[in-house]
Amino acid sequence: MANIDPRAQWQAALDKSRKRDANFTTLSGDALQAVYGPEDVTLDPAEDLGYPGQFPYTRGVHPSMYRGRLWTMRQFAGFGTARETNERFKFLLGAGQTGLSVAFDFPTLMGYDSDDEIAMGEVGKVGVSISSLADMQTLFDGIPMGEISTSMTINGPAPIMLAFYIACAERNGVDPKTLRGTIQNDILKEYQAQHAWLVPPEPALRMITDAMTYCAEHVPQWNTVSISGYHIREAGSTAAQELAFTLANGMEYVRRGVAVGLDVDSFAPRLSFFFDSHLDFFEEISKFRAARRIWARKMRDEFGAKDPKSWMLRFHTQTAGVSLTAQQPENNIVRTAFEAMAAVLGGTQSLHTNSMDETLSLPTEKAVKIALRTQQIIADETEVTHVADPMAGSYFVEAQTNRLEEEAEKYFAEIESRGGVVPAIMDGFFQLEIHHSAVKYQRAIESGSKKVVGVNTYVEEGEGLTIDLHKIRKETQDEAHKAMADLRSSRDENEVKTSLDAIRAACGTDDNLIAVFVIAAHAGCTLGEIAQVLRTEFGEFQEPNIL
């Protein structure tokens, strides 16, 4: 009897049974085969796969993964005044959330006080307004800072906000050495995608290495940089671009830390990552697995890290805000659930699930509770947490993991050929790559080749808004202005001037800026005052004209 090639037999059957004439691709646009088999996957069990908790951590950073400990359920929250957000934090903690994540308003993200003229009309709109240590104290009033893990999503002014948080803990009698959490502090992706900065790249990177140095000694459990692919993906990148650009930025931070004399193992274990979880279920799982493998190899083999903790890529995930629709917003609950499941099966350490109403407003308590319950149902009802990396060995997942790693390596080579991350920012490379991908994706939606339920398919005529929305109180801005007036009238202006002068002097030396920021925070200096000193001393960044 003649030998029969099972793949050829299957291919013949496939050709006869094809029902749809379509181009099947990943969400990022990469072509997909109809089936994957052992011939599509090349894996060295030791160097590529291994077991969870073992190098290269493709299968997870802990041997037992969620059998040992669930991911941190950390809902992003912030709106209005510090007092209002404090109440939301307590609501979320009461509902079972296990970590806090602070969303700041746009003036704060750009380094302006709530009473600055440029902040008018924006105070408290897309996050909480924090302009001083006093605001930070209100934000964490009644919250055990030494026990709860806090993440703060802010970048340009991140070193100042970190100083406010440290000073707040000190005022509350909490030893900074007990503080746990993360300041995003990822300035490189701001120049690439999100565009919220204070100063040009070089002084911004200097402040990041100052944070690494300061926290290694004074706040050793704190993650000093959360290297973020989330905002790169939300700006329109593909999964491979998110993976490559994020890890390239991470490697640049490691280079900068080593360049100022830090031992790589003294700070690398405190670096964390922040990824998007989009709607292509298997591509996202594969992306997370590829990220761990790439990082482990780079840290061990290129940077010479000896501590296994330096090799482990630990990451927070947020479901894809850009995937949510204003039309039929209840559908967003389903989208978020699948994205959250992909993050869990991909091995995340921390997770935020978006609320169904976030394309229309800041989330209501009802919407944010549904989002949190989504995580809790995954954790307690689906049983997917019982086995570490249940996706391993899938021909499709392993092939996708390999593909994403290969595409990332090509991007690393391109970035290196341009002189590194900062030169590639200055010539607009990252910005153009993201721009082209965003345009391609948007055109696919507009043409209908990319289906979006409720937007270009299954559209219901005459449908109206079916959910209640959160509204920011009109009094928010006035209350923030009063808080600033009270601060300015009660502080010692001579102490403020002395502290700002010390920052100005430190900008021209090698003195650690975080140390002088903490002193300035205690003196009552505001975010805007400190930021203005930095802008004056370091100048302002002008992005390249890329179009």
How many alpha carbons fall within 13 Å on the CB side of residue 124? 22
Tell me what pLDDT residue 464 has.
67
DSSP state letters, 315-378: EEEEE-GGG--SSSTTHHHHHHHHHHHHHHHTT-SEEE---TTTTTSSPPHHHHHHHHHHHHHH
pLDDT < 70 regions, the chain: 1-2, 18-22, 464, 547
| Burial bucket for residue 406 (CB in 10 Å: 0-12, 13-18, 19+) | exposed
Tell me what pLDDT residue 347 has.
97
pLDDT tens digit string along 420-452? 999 999 999 999 999 999 999 999 999 999 999
Tell me what pLDDT residue 469 has.
75
Tell me what pLDDT residue 2 has.
57
Tokens of 270: 């405190």
Tell me what pLDDT residue 37 has.
85
Tell me what pLDDT residue 508 has.
95
**Which residues fall within 8 angstroms of residue 231, CB to CB, at 6 or more apart?**
189, 190, 193, 194
Tell me what pLDDT residue 429 has.
96
Tell me what pLDDT residue 186 has.
96
pTM value is 0.92
Tell me what pLDDT residue 20 has.
58
Tell me what pLDDT residue 22 has.
62
Residue where the block lists tokens 């975080």: 514
Domains with residue ranges and CATH for the chain: 38-447 (3.20.20.240)
**Which residues fall within 8 angstroms of residue 500, CB to CB, at 6 or more apart?**
520, 525, 529, 530, 533
